[in-house]
Chain A
Amino acid sequence: MAEINLVEAVNLALARELARDPSVVLLGEDIGVNGGVFRATVGLQARFGPERVIDTPLAEASIAGVAVGMAVAGLRPVAEIQFTGFIYPTLDQIINHAGRIRHRTRGRLACPLVLRSPAGAGIHAPEHHSESPEALFAHVPGVRMVIPSSPARAYGLLLAAIRDPDPVVFFEPTRLYRLYRQAVEDNGEALPLDVCFVVREGGDVTLVSWGAMLQDTLAAADALARDGVSAEVIDVATLKPLDLPTILESVAKTGRCVIVHEAARTSGFGAEIAAGLAEQGLTSLLAPVQRVTGYDVVVPLPRLEPQYLPSVARIVAAARKALEYA
Chain B
Amino acid sequence: MTTVAAFEIDHTQFLDPQGEAVKALPPFAADTAALVAMYRAMVLTRAFDAKAIALQRTGKIGTFASALGQEAVGVGVASAMEGDDVLVPSYRDHAAQFVRGVSMVESLLYWGGDERGSNFAGPRQDLANCVPIGTQVPHAAGAAYAFKLRREPRVAVCLLGDGGTSRGDFYEAMNMAGVWRLPLVIVINNNQWAISVPRHLQSAAQTLAQKAIAAGVEGRQVDGNDVIAVRQTVGQALDKARSGGGPTLIEAMTYRLGDHTTADDASRYRDAESVREQWTFEPNLRLRRYLARIGAWDKEREDALQRDCAAEVNAAVDAYFALPPPTCDAMFDHLYQTLPDALEAQREEARKFAPKGEPQ
Contacts and interface: CB of A to CB of B under 8 A. Distances in A.
Given A62-B172, A241-B340, A105 B142 contact: no
Contacts of A57: 172, 175-176, 179
Nearest to B339: A241
Contacts of A64: 138
Nearest to B167: A61
Nearest to A242: B342
Interface in B112-134: 115-116, 118-120, 124-125, 127-128, 131-132
A202 interface: no
A25 B180 CA distance: 14
Interface in B25-64: none
Given A106-B116, A110-B337, A69 B143 contact: yes
Interface in A72-103: 72-75, 77, 92-93, 96-97, 101-103
Contacts of A104: 115, 118, 128
B342 A65 contact: no
A56 interface: yes
Interface in B170-186: 172-173, 175-176, 179-180
Nearest to A142: B335
Interface residues of B, number: 46
A142 B337 CA distance: 10
B337 A62 contact: no
Contacts of B120: 105, 108
A97 B139 contact: yes
A73 B169 contact: no
A103 B137 CA distance: 20
Which of B132, B147, B179, B335 has the most chain A CB atoms inside 10 A of its CB?
B335
Contacts of A107: 119, 333-334, 337
A83 to B, nearest CB: 19
Given A66-B141, A106-B333, A109-B125, 5 more contacts: A57-B172, A69-B140, A72-B142, A73-B143, A243-B341
A92 B342 contact: no
B360 to A, nearest CB: 16
Contacts of A68: 138-139, 142
A188 interface: no
A67 B118 CA distance: 21
A66 B176 contact: yes
B88 to A, nearest CB: 8
Given A73-B143, A102-B336, A66 B173 contact: yes
Which of A61, A66, A243 has the most chain B CB atoms inside 10 A of its CB?
A66
B237 interface: no
Nearest to B338: A165
B337 A244 contact: no
Given A66-B176, A242-B342, A61 B169 contact: yes
B138 A65 contact: yes
10 contacts: A62-B173, A65-B139, A66-B142, A69-B146, A73-B143, A73-B145, A75-B149, A106-B330, A194-B341, A241-B341
A65 B173 contact: yes
A109 B128 contact: yes
Contact of B335 (A67, A92, A141): A141
Contacts of B145: 25, 66, 69-70, 73, 75
B330 A71 contact: no
Contacts of B323: none
B168 A61 contact: yes
A109 B128 CA distance: 9
Contacts of A77: 142
Contacts of B340: 194, 241
A49 to B, nearest CB: 10
A73 B138 contact: no
A105 B143 contact: no
B135 A70 contact: no
Which A-B residue pairs are the 7 nearest by beta carbons? A69-B142, A65-B138, A241-B340, A69-B139, A62-B172, A73-B146, A241-B342
Interface residues of A, number: 47
A204 interface: no
Contacts of B343: 241
Contact of B132 (A96, A101, A106, A108): A96
B335 A93 contact: no
A10 to B, nearest CB: 23
B254 to A, nearest CB: 26
Nearest to A58: B172
Contacts of A165: 336-337
A72 B179 contact: no
A74 B148 CA distance: 12
Contacts of B143: 69-70, 72-73
B138 A61 contact: yes
Contact of A106 (B147, B172, B179, B334): B334
A127 interface: no
A69 B176 contact: no
A167 to B, nearest CB: 9
A59 interface: yes
A51 interface: yes
A105 B110 CA distance: 10
Given A57-B172, A65-B139, A97-B135, A103 B156 contact: no
A69 B118 CA distance: 16
B108 interface: no
Interface in A108-126: 108-110
Contact of A96 (B124, B135, B140, B337): B135
Given A62-B141, A65-B169, A92 B135 contact: yes
A52 interface: yes
Contacts of A142: 335-336
A166 interface: yes
A56 B141 CA distance: 12
Contacts of B128: 101, 104-105, 109
B86 interface: yes
Given A62-B169, A62-B172, A62-B173, A106 B119 contact: yes
